[in-house]
Structure 1
Amino acid sequence: MIARRLLAYVVAACLAAIGAVAASLAAIGIAHAQDAASLKKQMPGQWELSTTERSKTCVVTLKADAAGQGFKLELEPSCKTALPFTKDIVAWSVRGLDIVRLQDATGEAVIDFTEVEAGIFEGLRQGEGVYILQDLAAARSMAKSMDQMIGDWSMVRRNGQPVCGLTLTNTEADADNFQVFLKPRCDATIAQFNPTQWRLERGQIILMSKSGEAWQFEADDNAQWRRVPDTADPLIMLRQ
């Protein structure tokens, strides 16, 4: 009798556990479906497809109208010249939970994007590099911000003592970056770093040396750009 009661208890416990797992899986499935549905509603509109530093850009208009295995889109005429791979893009779709796919006529991916920040998606093409898809208005606002970066800057320590001068230019150094020049009589640490390229990426000024070393600067509440991660004696960039 005790054995039967114990068996019945074990069976009941197992059924309850299975029910709980099934309910959890169902809830996850619903949440996933909602995520995909939300993304489909979020995407229609005008987007900028670009290289990471925006030296090559293309406006893509995603539409909510069905088109074969996805949804309709329009590419501005200059896209095929700026970004040749776009010639194969005929539609867009959402795959899985969070992948925005720009696809060819067969539904295969020309490039897949995942959201890395609100309204900013990244996609990788093997052998080419990373591309950015972001809201057109936000992208143009960023471009204006980048234009404001061009010119002379001063690097100072926390006490306000100048340690170096540099000039950010809009002259392309390569496909992703622009030229930067140090002025004479820089602090030894900065002179040794000797940045030759820069770009504006995700709200950060990135300075890079020939060896590939990179320093990141973020804007703070005082309209200054502080090197990150922060230190006890921070290095600050000030617009001249």
Structure 2
Amino acid sequence: MRLRRLLPVLGLLAWTGCAAAQETSPARDAAGPWELALDGSFRRCGVMLAAEPGPVGQALRFPAGCRRALPVVNGLGGWRQEGGLIQLLDREGQPVLAFASPDNDGIRSAESPSGERYSLAQGGLSAGARPAAPETPLITTAALSTLPTARDSSRDGLAIAPSTAAAVTGLYTLDRFVEKDVCRVMLKPASAQVQEGCRDPGLALFDPTAWHYEAGRLTLVARRGHSVELIPLGEGRWRRDPEIGTTFVLRRVEP
């Protein structure tokens, strides 16, 4: 008799547990690495939609370089999923970008309050596989002929920047403070490749496979999708932006 009385209670608990699992499973499905990109540009960044709670919604993480590459992330404080909608939230918990269900290519799209369109695709920061190459090449005809604006040229010494992306191609060596020529990377018109014999674990782990040049800044794109920006020093030298991370210098050398 006692067991018979407990059966309805156990059934209710089981139903409640299933309902809770159904409510939380979409968020668990969305949690993981994604790539956020500004449509019509080279600007993209790997972001992590974490499963644990954050200041608002669930925690959102991204590399420091994203703050310059995609300024929209500076105002983000978390994320949440409502049905098929993935929302990136400001620090007050209000949606800044709301990405609807993906299209046939698995890419979600959203429009910012300022009218810019962004795409969100699974993969990036911690994806084991290399992300698919974008349909638009990282170096376009427009990029090869685009000069920095006068405003850009006056900032960060961009007056010494190469005038075209074609002028950036070549073989570069990495200098680290006291150590010189610890690793070499070849920048080809459509790819980047670390050369054999690299003695710098940081660059080897970063493993750049692509690059682009825009508005006087050189961006190296890692195999897993995140990127590093460098500013020109003149005479074929590029320095990692000190506001973003550890300083290192790429110096152009003869093959």
- Structure number with the higher helix fraction is 1
Q: Which has the higher strand share?
A: 1
TM-score (norm 2): 0.41
Which fold has the larger relative contact order, with Cα–Cα distance below 8 Å and residues 6 or more apart in sequence? 2
TM-score when normalising by structure 1:
0.43
Structure number with larger C-alpha Rg? 1
